[in-house]
């Protein structure tokens, strides 16, 4: 089995839980996911099956979310699973929120939550937090390409945001930092990933609907549908060379350092990179 699944991860499960379920159903060990979702979050989780796990690095990794922020209080984890640490009776209005959001758009430096899996000196941040130890957290540069108010309730001080961002962005940090910017505090209460690269929520399959190997096969997406690189169809002779990891000379021009999908009989045989009209294999699948 070779391909991707667009899985809808339910809240209450980790991304690794989803992979474990699919391994149990399919009896395939070589399964991995792209872009971890926190347990309380739900939505799009791209899953790679079989040799498709070797294609993760080539997938578009931009993300889109709908996140609900509760203003008026902050927590240790920056979401509703942590202990409350600060509260405020101040109420923000839509104009204040919109003005504050301007500072979060574009390329920004973001401090990850202390309760996260990022490693510092070989140890995950949440391990330091659970031990009550302080550790220096280095800001990370991320890009927020879109940040808009979807809904706002003045009375409850709940604001829903549409966020389109680069890989590695913590929506929990946006919730916490927005609250601090508004001087009201804030934490994330709900998070739905609506897009991960080319995988969209409207096409996501619920995990309950992948309970047999036949259903997994029916929903499998062939890799070339999600890999947007030029395609080069191999001859029989070229296919033999590629299967042995040998470079071939392209019979048409490609720019240098261009990634190329090498197909044989319309099936992905390898991914290559151009080098002075030589196609040199990076990953071989036959």
Per residue in 207-260, pLDDT (tens digit) is 999 999 999 999 999 999 999 999 999 999 999 999 999 999 988 888 888 999
Predicted confidence (pLDDT) at residue 140 exceeds the cutoff of 80: yes
Distance CA 71, CA 33 (A): 32
Instruction: Please state which of the ranges 22-26, 136-140, 188-192 shows the lowest mean pLDDT.
Output: 136-140
- Token pair 């070589």: residue: 30
CATH number of this structure's domain 3-60+198-225 = 3.30.2350.10
Residue 24 banded pLDDT, cuts 50, 70, 90? very high
Residue 13 banded pLDDT, cuts 50, 70, 90? very high
Predicted confidence (pLDDT) at residue 67 exceeds the cutoff of 60: yes
- In the chain, pLDDT over 90 holds for what percent of residues? 82
The dihedral built from the CA positions of residue 78, 83, 87 and 91, taken in this order, carries a sign that is positive
Predicted confidence (pLDDT) at residue 46 exceeds the cutoff of 90: yes
pLDDT of residue 251: 81
Beta bridge partners of 151: 160
pLDDT of residue 116: 64
Active-site residue 38, yes or no? yes
Stated pTM of the model: 0.90
26-to-30, 160, 244 alpha-carbon distances in Å: 10, 37, 29
| Mean pLDDT of all residues in 17-40 | 94
Predicted confidence (pLDDT) at residue 14 exceeds the cutoff of 70: yes
Mention every residue, 6+ apart, whose C-beta is less than 8 A from residue 95. Answer: none
Assign a CATH topology to domain 63-193: Pseudouridine synthase (3.30.2350)
| Mean pLDDT of all residues in 34-57 | 94
What are the residue ranges spanned by the domains of the chain?
Answer: 3-60+198-225, 63-193, 231-284
CATH classification number, 231-284, choose in 3.40.640.10, 2.30.130.10, 1.10.8.50, 2.40.100.10: 2.30.130.10
38-to-4, 110, 187 alpha-carbon distances in Å: 21, 18, 14
For residue 155, give the nearest of 240, 70, 73 by alpha carbon: 70
| Mean pLDDT of all residues in 105-113 | 90
Predicted confidence (pLDDT) at residue 173 exceeds the cutoff of 80: yes
pLDDT of residue 135: 67
Please determine whether the domains at 3-60+198-225 and 63-193 fall in the same fold group of CATH.
Answer: yes
Beta bridge partners of 8: 44, 206
Instruction: Calculate ∠ Cα 46-52-58, nearest 5°.
Output: 75
Annotated active-site residue in 38, 151, 177, 198: 38
């Amino acid at each position: 089995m070779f391909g991707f699944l667009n899985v809808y991860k339910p809240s209450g499960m980790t991304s690794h839980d989803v992979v474990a379920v699919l391994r149990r159903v399919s009896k395939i060990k070589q399964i991995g996911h792209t872009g971890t979702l926190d347990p309380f979050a739900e939505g799009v989780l791209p899953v790679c099956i079989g040799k498709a796990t070797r294609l993760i690095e080539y997938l578009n990794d931009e993300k889109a979310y709908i996140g609900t922020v509760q203003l008026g209080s902050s927590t240790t984890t920056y979401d509703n699973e942590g202990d409350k640490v600060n509260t405020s009776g101040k109420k923000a209005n839509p104009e204040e929120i919109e003005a504050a959001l301007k500072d979060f758009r574009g390329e920004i430096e973001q401090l990850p939550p202390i309760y996260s899996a990022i490693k510092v000196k070989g140890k995950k941040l949440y391990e330091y937090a659970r031990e009550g130890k302080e550790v220096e957290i280095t800001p990370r540069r991320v890009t927020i390409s879109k940040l808009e108010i979807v809904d706002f309730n003045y009375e409850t001080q709940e604001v829903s945001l549409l966020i389109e961002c680069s890989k590695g962005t913590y929506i929990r940090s946006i919730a916490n930092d927005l609250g601090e910017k508004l001087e009201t505090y804030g934490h994330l209460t709900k998070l739905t990933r609506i897009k991960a690269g080319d995988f969209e929520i409207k096409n996501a399959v619920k995990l309950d609907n992948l309970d047999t190997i036949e259903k997994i096969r029916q929903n499998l997406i062939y890799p070339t549908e999600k890999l947007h690189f030029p395609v080069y169809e191999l001859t029989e002779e070229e296919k033999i060379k590629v299967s042995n990891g040998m470079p071939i000379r392209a019979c048409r021009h490609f720019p240098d350092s261009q990634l190329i999908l090498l197909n044989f009989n319309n099936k992905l045989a390898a991914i290559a990179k151009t080098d002075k009209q030589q196609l040199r294999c990076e990953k071989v699948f036959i």
